[in-house]
């Protein structure tokens, strides 16, 4: 007997379980198929657990620097196993929350691998290939997420050569770590390990860190990391590695020389690819290009009734994007008249300290696209709240199109910027002008004041003439990193 559902979703990550809940809210009978743990990579091995590690690192940094606040305590220490345990406990609790959320929405969960047999039939099999059951639906969403990309010369064993998953389960704090890749994962782990006393080296094949961020952000982050004692090798690649009894010797080649680095463990963080395995895509003819499933603007594949969202398609690998795609996909299936997702207005965040947040075009891309721009920048060293927080190394950079004042982008590096970037996202969504931001009262003292002052900096001469906001020009910071 084939079990029938209105909607079947393969994968329970932030794309899958959010889509499932939205389907249930719209009256659909929903089934979720999950091969491992509810919550997917984001909850179990990515966004959530690493932010827990970063919080521990930040607390430890507060303790190390507490005398700056007039507070004196005994020298702190890190219990690495408890730091990891706290991270895993948070994951376990949130996993239970998702299970309860799905249960309260009458969503059925089946554990196993979803093998697509046709455009409306899925066979669920166990990890050893044993058939569990067969299910039918007119609508199937593939949301199986991403997997680590690996270098051929560094096969992942998750013992001493790690991907992001293995990095969550390290048993003992290493004395030294080599991190390959200066993207989000590499940057966040570099901050964590450096904060707790591990020697950190970053190897990046590009000419700067955080390559997808505005160039000014990349430059500032590099300065801060170097000041913290993190060694950064840019325009560099791994030539080979030699495994010794207790450590590795890694040969790195850059533009100038060969370098040899000794390290206890290696973290490979070169990116994330689509998890296309064990789905039966070739059997039914789903089109794949550059190892991503092809979809239209409503996430429909070339096979009727089959859809795809998240890391599986050619969109940025962000949990909040997958969730948004899931909602749009389900609402389109249901027949709701929806708006397309504007991928140019999605916030991107990195949770090292100082934090990084951005949305929209970089200055470099704005010019490349032919915009005549004006740029406003405000340094946190001139902000009262930043002085209070003892977090001075950063700025907010706002980019406007000059003729009509379109808000093209914003780029921030500093304390709690991941919490304030949504103001710019909303402003861009509502097509807000600089004049409206200038005339929106921001609380004092606050980090968000920096947005107002960066915008004012871009239009300072105009606003002095038109609205008389004299005396608010941000002073030029003399603080060096």
> Do the bridges between strand 231-233 and strand 288-289 make them parallel or antiparallel, or are there none, so unpaired?
unpaired
Q: What share of the chain is helix, strand, coil (3-state, %, to 5)?
A: 35, 25, 40
| Residue 444 is a catalytic residue | yes
Identify which of 80, 81, 95, 84 has the alpha carbon closest to the alpha carbon of residue 44: 95
Identify which of 269, 62, 78 has the alpha carbon closest to the alpha carbon of residue 174: 78
For the chain, the distance separating the N- and C-terminal CA atoms, rounded to the nearest angstrom, is: 68
Provide the CA 65 distance to its chain's centre, in angstroms: 28
- φ, ψ of residue 262 in degrees (nearest 5): -100, 135
Cα–Cα distance between 384 and 397 in angstroms, integer? 18
Name the burial class of residue 258, with classes exposed (0-12), middle (13-18) and buried (19+) by CB atoms within 10 angstroms of its CB. Answer: exposed
Q: Do 348 and 358 form a contact (C-beta atoms < 8 A)?
A: yes
Cα–Cα distance between 122 and 81 in angstroms, integer? 41
Q: Do 360 and 428 form a contact (C-beta atoms < 8 A)?
A: yes
From 139, 244, 320, 444, the catalytic residue: 444
Q: Give the orientation angle of helix 47-64 with respect to helix 80-104, to 10 degrees.
A: 140
**Mapping DSSP to helix (H, G, I), strand (E, B) and coil, where does residue 462 land?**
helix
Catalytic residues: 444
């Amino acid at each position: 007997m084939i079990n029938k559902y209105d909607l079947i979703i393969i994968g329970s990550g932030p794309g899958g379980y959010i889509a499932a809940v939205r389907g249930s809210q719209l009256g659909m009978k929903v089934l979720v198929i999950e091969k491992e743990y509810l919550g997917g990579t984001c909850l179990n091995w990515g966004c959530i657990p690493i932010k827990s590690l970063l919080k521990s690192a930040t607390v430890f940094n507060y303790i190390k620097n507490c005398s700056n606040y007039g507070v004196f305590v005994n020298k702190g220490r890190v219990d690495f196993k408890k730091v990891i345990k706290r991270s895993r406990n948070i994951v376990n609790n949130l996993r239970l929350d998702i299970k309860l959320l799905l249960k309260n929405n009458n969503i059925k969960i089946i554990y196993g691998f979803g093998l697509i047999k046709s455009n409306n039939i899925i066979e669920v099999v166990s990890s050893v290939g044993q058939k569990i059951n067969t299910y039918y639906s007119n609508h199937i969403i593939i949301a199986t997420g991403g997997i680590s990309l690996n270098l051929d010369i560094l096969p992942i064993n998750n013992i001493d050569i790690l991907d992001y998953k293995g990095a969550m389960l390290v048993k003992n704090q290493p004395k030294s770590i080599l991190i390959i890749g200066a993207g989000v994962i590499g940057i966040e782990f570099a901050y964590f390990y450096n904060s707790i006393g591990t020697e950190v080296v970053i190897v990046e094949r590009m000419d700067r860190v955080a390559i997808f961020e505005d160039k000014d952000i990349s430059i500032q982050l590099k300065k801060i990391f170097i000041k913290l004692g993190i060694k950064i090798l840019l325009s560099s690649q791994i030539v080979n590695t030699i495994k010794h009894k207790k450590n590795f010797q890694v040969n790195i080649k850059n533009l100038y020389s060969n370098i040899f680095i000794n390290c206890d463990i290696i973290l490979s963080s070169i990116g994330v690819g689509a998890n296309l395995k064990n789905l039966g895509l070739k059997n039914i003819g789903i089109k794949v290009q550059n190892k991503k499933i092809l979809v239209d603007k409503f996430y429909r594949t070339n096979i009727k009734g089959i859809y795809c969202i998240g890391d599986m398609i050619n969109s940025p690998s962000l949990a909040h994007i997958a969730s948004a795609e899931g909602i749009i996909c389900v609402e389109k299936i249901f027949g709701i008249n929806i708006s397309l997702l504007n991928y140019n207005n999605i916030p991107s965040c990195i949770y090292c300290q100082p934090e990084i947040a951005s949305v929209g075009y970089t200055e470099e891309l704005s010019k490349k696209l032919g915009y005549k721009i004006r740029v406003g920048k405000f340094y946190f060293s001139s902000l009262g709240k930043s002085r209070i927080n003892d977090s001075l190394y950063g700025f907010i950079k706002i980019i406007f199109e000059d003729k009509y004042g379109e808000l093209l982008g914003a780029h921030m590096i500093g304390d709690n910027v991941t919490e304030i970037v949504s103001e710019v996202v909303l402003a861009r969504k509502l097509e807000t002008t600089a004049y409206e931001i200038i005339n929106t009262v921001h609380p004092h003292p606050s980090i968000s004041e920096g947005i107002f002052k960066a915008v004012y900096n871009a239009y300072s001469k105009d606003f002095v003439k038109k609205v008389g906001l004299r005396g608010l020009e941000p002073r030029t910071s003399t603080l060096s990193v």
